[in-house]
Amino acid sequence: MNEKRTVLITGASRGIGRALAMAFGENGDNVVVNYRRSEQSAQTIVEAIKKAGGDALALKADVSDFDEAKTLVEQTIEHFGSIDVLINNSGITKDTLMLRMKEEDFDDVINVNLKGSWNMIKHVTRPMFKQKSGRIINISSVVGLIGNPGQTNYVASKAAVNGMTKSLAKEYGKKNITVNAIAPGFIETEMTDALSDEIKDAYRAQIPLNRFGKTDDIAKTALFLASKDAGYITGQIISVNGGMV
Ligand code: NAP
């Protein structure tokens, strides 16, 4: 097990975020389970982590709001004393073809997926610079690498997160802070449950391993990127997609 760290995970109330929270909690780390609406579910995860021997705290914040993101960081430091790992996992989709996409569909997705990640990184920067260490992991997406019809808003947000990751790795290297992204392929969560069977079959046909990924596939990759063993990895977009790309 690694030294006990404080890990702040945005959007940890379900899906990939829940798997991330449980993996770090079971590793013995202090975990902040951020949520926007699903308070009950976030509290259940906190209890499960405590049962597994870790420590955790649920904190409500909309990461797309600059001030709420700031408060989230401040509350984490107040409670646990530091932030060693930030995982920007919160994400939303508002899929539709360009012809039908409304301006607010674009703005909402960019505000949560891109601006939310930027807000969180902005606010952890000073504390991480001060402690001269840190790990930042952004959850982007395979479609940010290859594009996808019906997702111009989402793909733009995830491609931008990849670019931001590479730029920040160059800025933060001197401060002993690594910045990487994980680009998941099709992972079974509520986000993907919403798709029709027809679309799911079409995705599966593009996956050489011929199955969808599990949330644990992403959690295990994040555990590695946050570990001492990954100390020389920065500015990378790690694909976890069953061979899709
Ligand atoms: P999910 O099941 O829909 O969960 C999304 C999480 O984000 C929830 O915890 C939600 O909190 C939180 N969230 C949404 N808006 C937020 C906001 N403004 N502020 C704070 N939290 C917010 O999604 P998922 O499938 O686990 O996806 C997690 C991440 O992986 C996303 O960034 C997604 O784009 C990425 N990803 C997923 C897949 C996949 O196949 N599932 C593939 C590639 C990339 P509440 O429950 O409180 O609303």
Percentage of the chain with pLDDT > 70?
99
Q: What is the pLDDT of residues 88-104, one digit of tens each?
A: 999 999 999 999 999 99
What's phi and psi for 34, nearest 5 deg? -80, 145
Over range 153-160, report the average pLDDT. Answer: 99
**Pocket of ligand 1, candidates 89, 165, 192, 206: which has the most ligand atoms within 8 Å of its Cβ, to mutate?**
89
For atom 32 of ligand 1, the residue with the nearest CA is 91
> Residue 1 above 50 pLDDT?
no
pLDDT at 153: 98
What's phi and psi for 98, nearest 5 deg? -50, -40
Whole-model pTM over 0.95: yes
* Beta-strand runs (E) in 40-162: 55-60, 85-88, 134-139
| Domains of the chain, each with CATH number or no CATH | 6-185+216-239 (3.40.50.720)
Residue 204 Cβ inside 6 Å of ligand 1? The answer reads no
- Alpha carbon of 174 to ligand 1 centroid (Å): 31
Confidence of residue 189 (pLDDT cuts 50, 70, 90): very high
pLDDT at 195: 87
Task: Write b or e for each residue in 98-117: b if 16 or more Cβ atoms lie within 10 A of its Cβ, otherwise e.
Answer: eeebeeebbebbbbbbbbbb
> Residue 13 above 60 pLDDT?
yes
> Residue 76 above 70 pLDDT?
yes
> Residue 27 above 50 pLDDT?
yes
- Alpha carbon of 86 to ligand 1 centroid (Å): 15
> Residue 2 above 60 pLDDT?
no
116-131 helix and 66-80 helix, angle to the nearest 10 degrees: 40
For atom 3 of ligand 1, the residue with the nearest CA is 191
Q: What is the pLDDT of residues 200-236, one digit of tens each?
A: 999 999 999 999 999 999 999 999 999 999 999 999 9
Please state the separation of Cα 196 from the chain's center in Å: 24
Q: In angstroms, rounded to a whole number, what is the distance separating the alpha carbons of residues 13 and 45?
A: 7
Residue 184, Cβ neighbours under 10 Å: how many?
A: 24
Round the average pLDDT of the chain to a whole number and report it. 97
